[in-house]
A and B are shown apart, each in its own frame.
Chain A
């Protein structure tokens, strides 16, 4: 302890704390940092500026307006900030059939299904992988009548196959009838037939339902001859009336079917 204060003042603060400030023994020199300090902060008393009051007003107004507009009527069950009664909103959303997926077009729904299930082999650009996975873009199987691609997707395909003049067949395509619903198969077919420059007719779930019944007893994957046995332009019965290819007169849409909105 080499800091015995030389001035009488410290007694007033009453504490002889050990202060080891290195080689500086003189308490007057020791506190250089303290000495050079400005005095403890004080507070001025400038008045409020008129602009600040304007900002307060603006914040209160905007905050209040926001609370009023998006309060959902302060109802405990209202998740909708606009406070619209839930049933009225459902009614506005469309006919009974339009549930949660109603906002997406069949094409967009199909894109998601494609990305989740088909893209690994057929690639995002639909060009497949040379000599392994056949392309879908511009393929005569995809863009012809809807029956051939629907058969392939439902039951799968194995063995050699020739697409766009190239030979494929190293890989096996699995059947999807156990994995995907009719709606999903219809959507993914609609997507494949209308993207990447393809422009064939869309497919709806009812067509797949019919085909699924028809093929119910077909046990295994199709091979190329099975597919070629079907005419290239064979359409599934019951296509949408506003579809790309007009339905044949004999196979007119079922009378009770509501027209599907097209994306």
Chain B
């Protein structure tokens, strides 16, 4: 099959009344509407709040006096608030929204027990709200990505239990004999997250482990949240969206299997490579570095699988917003992983550990990969939920380029600044303050990239709001990024 053979289905010629598959999809989509939009809308609100907090964080690094008189806007509170709003408010909620829609579609059954999800979204929002409020009031626990005070953590866990029981129930009701790759990843993510979260909470707060081991647990949690929760949802979504939009089977089942199981096996060993030269038995850190090197196996496999699926269809990225965001995210996943290996090697880590470079790494994973994939899936799913097409192609284009340039600039600035900072900290003839001063221009550059990202989020939120209010286009043709010549556009 090649690209030109995929005609846009003529909408005026309605499908034969007996086209059961289409009607089935239509009913499934309609049934997912309330819960998925609830997750998406909450996620958008958190995204905007997180973006504002990110602005404070970024500017405070080069203008530390900014709002320093207001206790809840001090660095030590705004930074964890920003991270937790983005991780639990935006990324987790948007990811769950996409996962719910995908689960319903791939289980080929209308969404059952929507109240579980509605309650889950409500409790999750409450948990994040209490957690962020707690952090701003000074209740933070001080462990990266686990800063939420215990009362918020418990509510999050309850909310999560509701969502995951829904997922398991849905899986029981599935129709059809095949379980598609995306479902492996989604079920994996739904079951790995409670393991991660419970292990982190238990070992740090309920029965705390001793001394420095706490930071080992903390980093294991943070790294694996990135890999096994966000990574799994992101990869699963890409495995659906890419073949769906271009209308071609995924390249290879074997590659998919190897990629999934090696990912599950090696990812859970990582985390401690972020502590190179810390006061730990060397083998603990080395084991994590070796596991990080071994994650190259799933990364190469999944990357090849996606690439071969896309082979010959790359021109479609010119038209389809979903494909453009998703492929950008999938490519970023490879870059993120390769950089992750490079900066974990002891000889490099001694320079970049505990510098801005590790912040670049987190943003690559959570934004350039995960958030971009989720944006792509939202461009696909939302029109199916509200019955309208996206209103402005120009806004989608602006959103994409502001996001792509923003995250690219941010990564470059923080990586380069981090390397310089690390090299200066290693240099005995420089005092510590010089190593931080040399990073200042890079931090200003990062603030600039943050402005781009903020612009892209405001644009997307506005566009999303229009869709929610039913102000999208009523059209039978999807909103393509560029005018489509002939019928080469893919089934968006």
Where the two chains meet, the residues of A that have a C-beta atom closer than 8 Å to any C-beta of B are 5-10, 12-15, 17, 19-24, 26-49, 52, 55-56, 59-60, 62-64, 66-67, 70-81, 83, 103-104, 108, 111-112, 115-116
Contacts and interface: CB of A to CB of B under 8 A. Distances in A.
A47 B252 contact: yes
12 contacts: A12-B20, A22-B388, A28-B14, A29-B14, A29-B476, A31-B25, A33-B383, A34-B22, A35-B15, A35-B22, A38-B491, A66-B345
Nearest to A41: B243
B279 interface: yes
Contact of A22 (B25, B290, B301, B470): B470
B118 to A, nearest CB: 14
Contacts of A13: 23-24, 27-28, 110
Interface residues of B, number: 82
B256 interface: yes
A38 B280 CA distance: 52
B210 interface: no
B244 A44 contact: no
Given A38-B491, A46-B251, 16 more contacts: A12-B20, A15-B31, A26-B14, A35-B9, A35-B22, A36-B9, A38-B244, A38-B490, A43-B181, A48-B255, A49-B304, A60-B297, A75-B283, A78-B281, A81-B285, A103-B428
B478 A67 contact: no
A43 B250 CA distance: 5
B180 A55 contact: no
Contact of A32 (B31, B280, B304, B476): B476
Contacts of B14: 26, 28-29, 35
Given A43-B253, A45-B254, A72 B282 contact: yes
A76 B290 contact: no
A34 B490 CA distance: 13
B245 interface: yes
Contacts, number: 208
Contact of B297 (A59, A66, A103): A59
Contacts of A111: 429, 431
B294 A59 contact: yes
B387 interface: yes
A46 B255 contact: yes
Contacts of A115: 431
Given A7-B18, A9-B23, A39-B21, A72 B254 contact: no
A7 B15 CA distance: 11
B443 to A, nearest CB: 22
B29 interface: yes
A31 B14 CA distance: 9
Interface in B363-420: 383-384, 387-389
B17 interface: yes
Contacts of A33: 383-384, 389, 478
A43 B245 CA distance: 14
Cβ-closest 4 pairs across A and B: A72-B282, A38-B247, A28-B14, A21-B387
B239 interface: yes
Contacts of B474: 22-24
B31 A17 contact: yes
B129 interface: no
A106 B18 CA distance: 88
Contacts of A103: 428
Nearest to B474: A22
A75 B281 CA distance: 7
A154 B182 CA distance: 73
Nearest to A73: B283
B279 A79 contact: yes
Contacts of A28: 14-15, 17
Contact of A55 (B250, B289, B296): B296
Contacts of A43: 180-181, 249-250, 252-253, 256
Contacts of B180: 40-41, 43
Contacts of B346: 70, 81
A15 B113 CA distance: 13
B458 interface: no
Nearest to A103: B428
Nearest to A10: B23
B44 to A, nearest CB: 21
A15 B26 CA distance: 11
A193 B361 CA distance: 45
Nearest to B17: A7
Given A21-B387, A44-B249, A66 B286 contact: yes
B93 interface: no
B287 interface: yes
Contacts of A15: 27, 31, 110
A37 B429 contact: no
B282 A71 contact: yes
B70 to A, nearest CB: 30
B74 to A, nearest CB: 26
A78 B239 CA distance: 43
B287 A67 contact: yes
A46 B254 contact: yes
A9 B30 contact: no
Interface string B4-17: 00101101001101
A27 B15 CA distance: 10
Nearest to A28: B14
Contact of B249 (A7, A23, A41, A56): A41
Contacts of A26: 14
Nearest to A7: B17
Most chain B beta carbons < 10 A, residue from A8, A31, A71, A81: A31
B454 interface: no
Interface in B276-312: 279-283, 285-287, 289-291, 293-294, 296-297, 300-301, 304, 308
Interface string B334-359: 00000000000110000000000000
A7 to B, nearest CB: 4
A169 B346 CA distance: 53
A41 B239 contact: yes
B181 to A, nearest CB: 7
Nearest to B281: A76
A221 to B, nearest CB: 28
Nearest to B266: A63
